[in-house]
Amino acid sequence: MIRLVLGAGALVWTGATLLLSCWARLDRPSLLDRLRPYHPGAPSVTGGRGSVSVASLRDVLGPLARTAGDRMAGVFGVTESVSVRLRRIHSGVDATAFRVRQMLVAGASMVAGAVMAAALAGKAPAAIAALLVLGLPVLAFLVIEQRLARASDRWKRDVALELPVVSEQIAMLLNAGYSLGAALSRVAARGRGCVAQDLSVVVNRVRQGISDTDALREWAEVAQVDGVTRLVGVLALHSEAADLGRLVSAEAGQARRDLHRRTLEAIERRAQQVWVPVTVATLVPGVILLAIPFLSALRLFSNA
C-alpha cells in the first residue's frame, strides 16, 4: 500500500511540474532567450526555458525514440528512412515527432498489457502474460509502421498513375514556348494530384535559390519512382536540348506504355488467382471420391 501511494505521489508531482512549467507566468523566458532570435549568429535553439518542461522532455526523448524506433523497424525488415517516407507523403510531422508518438503508443500498449496480465494472474499461463506484455507494444509499433508504409506505397502508385498525363502537360507547355520553370509552376498551380503537390515543392525549392535540376533531382530521390527518375533525367537537359518538349512527350509515351504493361500484368495475375478456389473446389471432392474405394481395397487386402 505504501509503494502504491509513493508511486501515485511521484506521478502526480511529475504531472503537476510539467503542467505548471507550461504556464507562462511561472515559466517566463529569460532576457537571453528573448534576444536570441534577433542575433544573427545565435543558434536557433529554443532551450533554456526551465530545467523541466514539455519542450525539454521532448528534446531529451526525441533522439532516443528515433534511434530505438529505427533500430526496431530495421529488425522487422524496414530499410527506408522514416523521414523520406514522411517527406514523400507531405506529412506535417517530422521523423522525431513520429517516432515519439509511435513509442508513446507502444508504451501505452505495454501498460495495458501489464494490467491485463495482472488481471489474469493465476488464471492463465505465464506465456499468455508474457505475450500480452511484450506482444501488444510490438503489435502497436508495427501497426503504425504499416500505416506509414501503406501511405507511402499508395503515394508512389498515384504518382506513377498521374505521371503520363503530367508529362504530356509539361511537354505541351514547353512546345508552346514556356520555360522549364514556368511550365513546372503552371502545372503545380493548376494541378490537384500527387504530382502537382510534388512539383509545388520543387517550385518552392527553386524559389529558395537552388537550380531547377537540383530541385528535380531531390524530387526523384524522395519519390523513388522509375518514371520520375527518367523524366527528371530528360528535364535536366533543358539547358542543352533545343527540342525538350519532344523529348518529354516521348518520355510520357514511354511512361504510358509502362503503366499499360503493369496493368496487363495485374489483370493476368488476378485472372490466375481466380482459378485457385476453382481448382481447390474441384480437387477436394475428387480426392475424397478416389480415397473411398482405395481405402475399401486396402481393408479387403488386410482382411485377406
The model's pLDDT over 58-105, given as tens digits with 9 standing for 90+, comes to 666 778 888 888 888 888 888 888 999 999 999 888 888 889 888 888
Closest CA to 17 of 48, 45, 56, 46: 56
Query: Is the CB of residue 83 less than 8 Å from the CB of residue 221?
Result: no
Q: What is the pLDDT of residue 57?
A: 58
What's the gap between Cα 107 and its chain centre?
21
> What is the spatial distance between Cα 107 and Cα 69, in angstroms, rounded to a whole number?
12
Closest CA to 236 of 293, 271, 184: 184
What are the strands, taking DSSP E only, across the chain? none
Q: What is the pLDDT of residue 42?
A: 47
Q: What is the pLDDT of residue 15?
A: 64
The neighbour count for residue 18, using CB atoms within 10 Å, is 14
Q: What is the pLDDT of residue 46?
A: 45
Residues of the chain falling short of pLDDT 70: 1, 3-5, 7-8, 11-12, 14-30, 32-34, 36-60, 124, 304
Q: What is the pLDDT of residue 70?
A: 87
Q: What is the pLDDT of residue 21?
A: 58
Q: What is the pLDDT of residue 1?
A: 55
Q: Which residues contact 209 (CB under 8 A, 6 or more apart)?
A: none
pLDDT digits (tens, 9 = 90+) for 209-235: 899 999 999 999 999 999 899 999 999
Query: Is the CB of residue 255 less than 8 Å from the CB of residue 167?
Result: yes
Joined together, the cell numbers standing for residue 24 give 507562462
For residue 100, give the amino acid letter. V
> What is the spatial distance between Cα 112 and Cα 129, in angstroms, rounded to a whole number?
11
Q: What is the pLDDT of residue 48?
A: 44
Joined together, the cell numbers standing for residue 108 give 501505452
Domain 157-259 has CATH 1.20.81: yes
Query: Is the CB of residue 152 less than 8 Å from the CB of residue 89?
Result: yes
Q: Which residues contact 16 (CB under 8 A, 6 or more apart)?
A: none
> What is the spatial distance between Cα 256 and Cα 253, in angstroms, rounded to a whole number?
5
In angstroms, what CA-CA distances link 85 with 92, 145, 215? 12, 11, 18
